[in-house]
């Protein structure tokens, strides 16, 4: 069985999640062997626990969670951070229907289209969407999904990451608003300047070249 590399400097969260999914498949294969040994089972369980703990640790720091859907059984699994993002207790039993129910209607339509295309083409989707949490809070999230095919080339499972990007989107929107306000002020100044050609103006710009003020 492969060893688990838990060096955060070498692997991204997405790579760790894929490694974790691969490990789960290995464990499933070992457990289904007719002559599995006790050592094999103990080692597989130890590696699985180590991998899951590290994923939860990384997820909490970066507000990124992981999820996996078994397409045969329709069993959906979340890491701890996904529960936290949805603001539900860890005894909450996620299902596909419940998971989709958290999405804003417009985001749900976007995700549905991307998800079906991913299943049809074995492609990856990467979307920024909105959810309404169990506590009624609106959050911006980044949802990534990847299809895993069986040896026969048939979609077997889907796994991915789920990240709370609410603060990131808030900062981006505030920056856009500030630039729009600055550009509006600049346009007003240009109109005044065009009508008062004998006035001397002093223009201030920030380090990114954006207009700040005029004297």
Q: Which stretches of the chain score pLDDT less than 70? A: 1-62, 189, 192-193, 196-215
pLDDT at 3: 44
pLDDT at 16: 57
pTM of the entire predicted model: 0.62
pLDDT at 9: 38
How far is the C-alpha of 68 from the C-alpha of 160, rounded, in Å? 7
Structural contact between residues 136 and 44, judged by C-beta atoms closer than 8 angstroms:
no
pLDDT tens string 140-188: 999 999 998 888 888 999 988 899 999 988 888 888 888 888 777 777 7
Structural contact between residues 161 and 13, judged by C-beta atoms closer than 8 angstroms:
yes
Q: Which long-range contacts (CB under 8 A, 24 or more apart) does 48-57 make?
A: 48/23, 48/24, 50/4, 50/6, 51/4, 51/6, 51/16, 51/19, 51/20, 51/23, 52/20, 52/79, 54/4, 54/6, 54/16, 55/13, 55/16, 55/17, 55/20, 55/79, 56/80, 56/81
Burial 148-174 (b: 16+ CB within 10 A, else e): beeeeeeeebbbbbbbbbbeebeeeee
CATH of domain 13-165: 3.30.450.20
Q: Any idea where the domains of the chain sit in the sequence?
A: 13-165, 170-214
């Amino acid at each position: 069985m492969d060893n688990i590399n838990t060096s955060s400097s070498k692997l991204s969260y997405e790579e760790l999640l894929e490694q974790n999914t691969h490990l789960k498949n290995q464990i499933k294969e070992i457990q289904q062997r007719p002559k599995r040994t006790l050592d094999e089972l103990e080692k597989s369980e130890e590696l699985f626990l180590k991998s899951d703990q590290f994923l939860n640790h990384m997820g909490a720091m970066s507000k990124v969670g992981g999820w996996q859907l078994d397409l045969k059984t329709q069993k959906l699994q979340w890491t701890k951070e996904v529960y936290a993002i949805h603001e539900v207790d860890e005894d909450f039993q996620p299902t596909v229907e419940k998971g989709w129910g958290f999405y804003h209607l417009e985001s749900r339509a976007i995700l549905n289209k991307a998800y079906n295309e991913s299943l049809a083409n074995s492609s990856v989707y990467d979307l920024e969407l909105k959810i309404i949490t169990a506590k009624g809070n609106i959050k911006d999230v980044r949802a990534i999904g990847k299809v895993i095919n069986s040896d026969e080339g048939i979609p077997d499972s889907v796994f991915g990451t789920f990240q709370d990007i609410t603060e990131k989107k808030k900062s981006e929107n505030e920056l856009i608003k500030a630039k729009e306000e600055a550009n509006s002020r600049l346009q007003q100044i240009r109109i005044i300047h065009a009508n008062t050609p004998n006035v001397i103006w002093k223009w201030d710009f920030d380090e990114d070249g954006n207009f700040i003020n005029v004297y």
